[in-house]
Amino acid sequence: MQCNPKKILVLTVLAVWIVCFVKTETAVSTEKPDFNVLIGEWVRPDGGYIVRVSVVNADESVDAEYFNPGKINVSEANVSLWKGFVKLFIKLQDKGYPGSTYTLYYYPEKDALAGFYYQAKIGQTFEVVFTRKKN
C-alpha cells in the first residue's frame, strides 16, 4: 500500500485541529448567546485575508466584508449557535469566488475563529483560523 503524503498531512492537521479546538462536552445554556463578540476585524495569518464584521442584526444576519487584499463581495452572512459554539457563515460571490463559503466557529478562550473555507471554484475545503486584529 502506497502512502499519500498530502492525505497524511490533511488527516494530521484535522486531528490537531480537533484536539486543540473541539470541545468534547458542551454545556447547554438557556441564555441567548452574545453574537456581538464577532464584531471586529479578523485576520487569517496564513495569507492576510480579512473578515470585518461591523454589525450583527437582530434577525441574525451580519454586516460583513471580506478582503483578499481587495474587497470581495459578500452575498450572505449570518450567525447562529451550533453545539454551544457561535457560528459565523459567510458566502462570497465575486470573480474567482463563485459561491465560496466560510463556516467559522468562535473560540472565546483563544479569541479566534476556526473552521472551514470551501473554495467553490476548485471544489476543495480547507481548514482555516482567523485571529482578532489588535488595534
pLDDT tens-digit map of 88-114: 999 999 999 999 999 999 999 999 999
DSSP letter, residue 34: -
How many domains does the structure of the chain reveal?
Answer: 1
C-beta of residue 105 within 8 angstroms of C-beta of residue 86: yes
Question: Does residue 88 lie within any of the structural domains?
Answer: yes
Nine-digit cell string for 62:
451580519
Q: In terms of residue numbers, what domain contains 64?
A: 28-132
The predicted-structure confidence for 27-49, as pLDDT tens digits, reads as follows 445 567 899 999 999 999 999 99
pTM above 0.85, yes or no: no
- Give 134's pLDDT tier (boundaries 50, 70, 90): confident
Sheet strand arrangement including 112-119? 71-72, 62-67, 49-56, 40-44, 124-132, 112-119, 97-107, 85-94, 74-82
Residue 9 lies in a domain: no
**Are the C-beta atoms of 101 and 108 separated by less than 8 Å?**
no
Q: How far apart are CA 112 and CA 129, in angstroms?
A: 7
Residue 8 lies in a domain: no
Q: Domain containing 115 — which CATH number?
A: 2.40.128.30
Q: Does the pLDDT of residue 79 top 50, yes or no?
A: yes
Give the C-alpha separation, 100 to 75, whole Å.
10
